């Protein structure tokens, strides 16, 4: 399993699609319409975030767990290296940010953490040791804001005060990356990379990720050489 982690709007979904296509595997993508409370979570700044934090995170928890169950089943059936643009890890980061901001009541936050941890430790009776690789996308805060604006989701752009909230999201991901060490992790600096519109950049990112999968024993060098040859033709 490969997790793509990054703050909002950095390119997680795009990379998950590109990587899954190249590896001939499945991409598990976040679909905002599957989280009914998400619009109301954004609608009234810190007031609605505090009111909806627990309920929204429980909706995400249920959704992610279903994806994780399917991913574990596919792995048992021989489909390795499934790709996820969001995960229980990223949900935990976002929840921690809300708690730090005083927007996730402590009692409810502790309940959420307990559920999140239980779900990550055991998936349908199978011990889960976490993803095989986390790909972390790092980008300047200004690029994050630009990308959020460009994708044009009304709930994410209708309040100018969201800029301060977004900065806290950006910062906590920086802090997470600098302190995390539970599973293999690699960083891609997005400052001067456009893997969506620039084929050279796309190939460079795919090469880096797939080389790391070789190092981890999740792909063979022969398999990756074939992938590279096909892409660079």
Give me the CATH number covering residue 84.
3.40.50.300
Q: Are 53 and 97 in contact (CB under 8 A)?
A: no
Q: Render pLDDT for 72-100 as a digit per residue (tens, 0 to 9).
A: 899 889 998 999 999 999 999 999 999 99
Give the pLDDT band of residue 45 (cuts 50, 70, 90).
confident
Distance CA 66, CA 83 (A): 14
According to the model, what pLDDT value does residue 44 have?
80
- Mean predicted confidence (pLDDT) in 10-18: 96
90 CB-near residues (< 8 Å, 6+ apart): 3, 5
Catalytic residue among 85, 132, 189, 207: 85
Q: Is 85 noted as a catalytic residue in this protein?
A: yes
Identify the domain containing residue 125 by its residue range: 2-231
According to the model, what pLDDT value does residue 112 have?
94
Give the pLDDT band of residue 124 (cuts 50, 70, 90).
low
Q: Report the predicted TM-score, pTM, of the whole model to 2 decimal places.
A: 0.92
Q: Are 122 and 68 in contact (CB under 8 A)?
A: no
Instruction: Quote the number of domains for the chain.
Output: 1
CA-nearest of 220, 137, 219, 121 to 185 is: 137
């Amino acid at each position: 399993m490969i997790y793509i982690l990054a703050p909002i709007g950095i390119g997680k979904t795009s990379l998950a699609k590109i990587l899954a296509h190249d590896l001939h595997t499945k991409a598990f993508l976040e679909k905002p319409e599957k989280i009914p409370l998400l619009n109301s979570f954004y609608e009234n700044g810190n007031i609605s975030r505090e009111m909806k934090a627990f309920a929204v995170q429980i909706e995400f928890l249920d959704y992610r767990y279903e994806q994780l169950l399917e991913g574990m089943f596919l792995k048992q059936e021989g489909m390795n290296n499934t790709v996820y643009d969001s995960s229980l890890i990223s949900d935990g980061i976002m929840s921690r940010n809300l708690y730090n901001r005083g927007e996730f009541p402590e009692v409810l936050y502790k309940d959420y953490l307990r559920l999140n941890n239980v779900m990550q430790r055991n998936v349908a009776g199978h011990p889960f040791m976490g993803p095989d690789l986390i790909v972390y996308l790092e980008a300047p805060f200004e690029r994050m804001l630009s990308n959020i604006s460009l994708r044009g989701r009304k709930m994410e752009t209708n309040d100018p005060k969201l800029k301060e909230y977004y900065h806290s999201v950006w910062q906590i991901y920086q802090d997470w990356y600098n302190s995390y060490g539970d599973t293999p992790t690699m960083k891609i600096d997005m400052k001067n990379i456009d893997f969506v519109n620039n084929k050279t950049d796309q190939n460079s990112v795919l090469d880096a990720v797939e080389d790391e999968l070789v190092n981890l024993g999740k792909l063979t060098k022969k398999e990756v050489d074939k992938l590279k040859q096909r892409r660079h033709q």
